[in-house]
Amino acid sequence: MNARTLQATRCNGVNAQSSKPKRVRVVVRAAVEAPAKISATDRVQLGQSDLMVSVCCLGTMTWGKQNTEQEAHEQLSYAFDYGLNFMDTAEMYPVPPTKDTQGLTDKYIGSWMKNQKRDGIVLATKVAGYGQHNTYLRDNGQTVRVTKDQIVESVDKSLARLGTDYIDLLQIHWPDRYVPLFGGGAYDIANEREGDIPFEEQLRALEEVVKAGKVRYVGVSNETSYGVSEFVHAAKAAGLPRIQTIQNVYHLIQRGSFETDLAETCRRHQVSLLAYSPLAGGVLSGKYLQPHPPAEARLNLFPGYMERYNKSQARTATEEYVKVAQKHGLTPTQLALAWCRSRWFVASSIIGATSMPQLKENLEAFSISLSQEAIDDVNAVYKRFRDPPIAA
């Protein structure tokens, strides 16, 4: 499959040197041309790879926890019939992760893929980074690390659960070294660990599964500018697989960590952003602002989970974004997803739904083009509330 560049062409059929007199046809054009139609199914190239994926990626992390296998299949069939071709999973899913449910998401995807054409699916998954609390992921029960043996084990198990013989995009879920994760605040040298797996060694481990034909391309997740640059430089110096993507959090109430230096770093190195949690775990839908939020909503089902998105300042910021959405005749979900899609550095946004109405609203939101006034209003709110989920 070769990467293709989609180009819009315009036809101007005026012949100024006609030998016969012709009637002049006056064509009345609008003073401002209507913007080109956009959709969740539009395709974009990932990094320097030949992967052409939909600008909306189907997230899967609730399948096996909040969603049954049947519901997962319903979402998959609807999304791919709609025109998506991209989905993302992980060896540790569903979340919140537990030993008893680990791998169910992959198994649900695998049972659905049995009746699908594999070459019509771009399948991304993730191998876990450093971890002492998820040792059940490995047969030897040791601390999870990004080593050759552990990557090979992870990939082999993922392929078995998914019922396929290759993964299109394998991502390191979070770094092997210490970095502040999931709203963890500023970098603290007191949390640094000895014995980090060197970047080149991690790439050589990834090369093992690429050369074996089990993985086509590799990427990172929850990574920093330092990490991206080190991976790119190590790959170039040693002739190893280069990272094509970075899957990081990006949404209305957590923007700064990517917009400041990661945006430039990724642009210079041709690494594409896969924006996860564009609705901040559902908070930006506005549903938690209700007097009685749905009992089955994620933050209610799992107390303490993603609570950083619903604390005082984050909650106040969400209220302001809801007002912006109302002003422009949009639902809060439409505003959040359309805004994320409009950012020049976002290649694909990863959506997650627990119901079919949610999934349908999410998909349709990618067809909305925000006015400059709406974007200005969003930025005005952001100036007042800069990244409230990040701990001080």
**Residues recognised as catalytic:** 93
Instruction: Report the distance separating Cα 231 and Cα 381, nearest Å.
Output: 35
Q: Coil, strand or helix: which one is 272?
A: strand
* The residue to which tokens 């791919």 are assigned: 80
User: Residue 215 phi/psi, 5° resolution?
Assistant: -135, 135
Instruction: Report the distance separating Cα 173 and Cα 221, nearest Å.
Output: 5
Report whether 251 contacts 279 (CB < 8 A).
yes
Q: Coil, strand or helix: which one is 271?
A: coil
* AA identity, residue 303: P
| Chain mean position to CA 291 | 31
CA dihedral 63, 64, 70, 74 (to 10 degrees): 0
Q: What is the residue-wise DSSP string for 363-389?
A: HHHTTPPPPHHHHHHHHHHHHHS--TT
Q: Which H or E run contains 13?
A: none
Report whether 100 contacts 144 (CB < 8 A).
no
Could you give the residue ranges of the DSSP H alpha helices within the chain? 69-82, 104-113, 148-162, 199-211, 225-238, 256-257, 263-269, 298-301, 312-327, 332-342, 356-365, 372-384
